[in-house]
Amino acid sequence: MLRYLVRRLLLLAPILFGVSLLIFFWIRALPGSPAESLLGERATPALVKAYQQHYGLNKPVYVQYWAYLKTTVQGDFGVSVASHRRVISEIKQRFPATIELALAAMLFAVFLGVPLGFVAAKRHGGLFDHLSLVASLIGISIPIFFLAIILKYIFAVRLAWLPSVGRISVLIDMKHPTNFYILDAIIERNWHALGDVLKHLILPGIALGSIPLAVVARITRAAVLDVQNEDYVRTARSKGLPPVIVDRRHVLRNALLPVSTIIGLQTGLLLSGAVLTETVFAYPGMGSWLRDAIFNRDYPVLQGGILFLALVFVVVNLIVDISYAIINPRIRYS
């Protein structure tokens, strides 16, 4: 296990180097420049030249990349062209919001998707099974932004049960030492703020978790159908073990291996920034931040933000691989 971890960690360097190379040259292939995007109608040739000189954009591309690589290795992602704040500071402010939203979406998807998939597999060919397949297809097919708008209209506008934008009500004054609003509310023992933060998470969490819910349900159903016909399951049943014990110890535990892979991949994708969901609900996370950076041609934000999310995605998948040995002790890494 230790050798496997070391080998995977060593692979991080070439992966992140390749990602940084692609990001750097990809964003510079976009039309326009940071100076022209931010200055707008005031973008005279003199101002554009001064702007480019100030941020080193007039230097050769390879010189810019070498400077970017050196600062990135030191943990410095540079300064945002639009806000003039350090990129790492904005990541510390924005990433906790995306973590909370992604975890809310995945909790919704897992705690609903796994039982739905399991019950559908146990009732294979029945009405519930067919309904779950239809529902999962609808969940995968419906666009996130469309579902988000429908949820927002029904539960926020018509029924006025839930808030429609932001992370917390503007009327609530609370300190944010960690920028994790749920954790901050617990630390401050502000239960009213905690309830308000959770209410703000419900609609975007459901909208963002709709696709992972459908995927988890379908993968769980397929995995349970495969596992329940294995020899060790039939042996356990022939020994007279109660069906609940067989399902929990032998069927569900072994079926969770492919499900955990999907959960890890979906979590990594959600942590990469839910642009559409954050845009519809005006949620101040990584997705909306990177969206604004694209419009502003904010090179340091795009370079630092995407590279940081690539690192998160790789780490999440590493954690998923490690979880295989925990779920099924028979698995060993050579």
Q: Which long-range contacts (CB under 8 A, 24 or more apart) does 34-38 make?
A: 34/81, 34/82, 34/296, 34/297, 34/298, 34/299, 36/297, 37/295, 37/296, 37/297, 38/81, 38/82, 38/296, 38/297
CA pair distance 246, 268, nearest whole angstrom: 32
Query: Please, is 303 exposed, middle or buried when counting C-beta atoms within 10 Å of its C-beta (0-12, 13-18, 19+)?
Result: buried
* Residue pLDDT, tens place only, 139-160: 788 888 888 899 999 999 898 8
Q: The pTM is what? A: 0.81
Structure tokens at 235: 């042996």
| Amino acid code (one letter) for 272 | S
What is the arithmetic mean of pLDDT over 259-267? Answer: 79
Per-residue confidence (pLDDT) for residue 332, from 0 to 100: 53
CA pair distance 35, 52, nearest whole angstrom: 7
Per-residue confidence (pLDDT) for residue 164, from 0 to 100: 87
Structure tokens at 137: 């297809």
Is residue 119 within 8 A of residue 193, CB to CB? The reply is no
Domains and CATH numbers, the chain: 87-231+258-327 (1.10.3720.10)
**Angle ∠(269,263,121) on CA atoms, nearest 5:** 135
CA pair distance 202, 144, nearest whole angstrom: 15
* Residue pLDDT, tens place only, 155-213: 998 988 999 888 888 888 888 888 899 998 999 888 999 999 999 999 999 999 888 89
Closest CA to 253 of 317, 326, 321, 320: 326
Tell me how far the alpha carbon of residue 204 is from its chain's centroid.
13
Q: Which of 70-74, 216-220, 304-308 has the lowest mean pLDDT?
A: 70-74
CA pair distance 113, 217, nearest whole angstrom: 4
Find the DSSP H helices in 228-274: 231-238, 243-245, 253-271
CA pair distance 304, 79, nearest whole angstrom: 10
CA pair distance 83, 301, nearest whole angstrom: 10
Query: Please, is 258 exposed, middle or buried when counting C-beta atoms within 10 Å of its C-beta (0-12, 13-18, 19+)?
Result: middle
Per-residue confidence (pLDDT) for residue 307, from 0 to 100: 87
Is residue 144 within 8 A of residue 270, CB to CB? The reply is no
Percent of the chain, pLDDT > 70? 91
* Residue pLDDT, tens place only, 75-120: 888 888 778 888 898 998 889 998 999 999 999 999 998 889 888 8
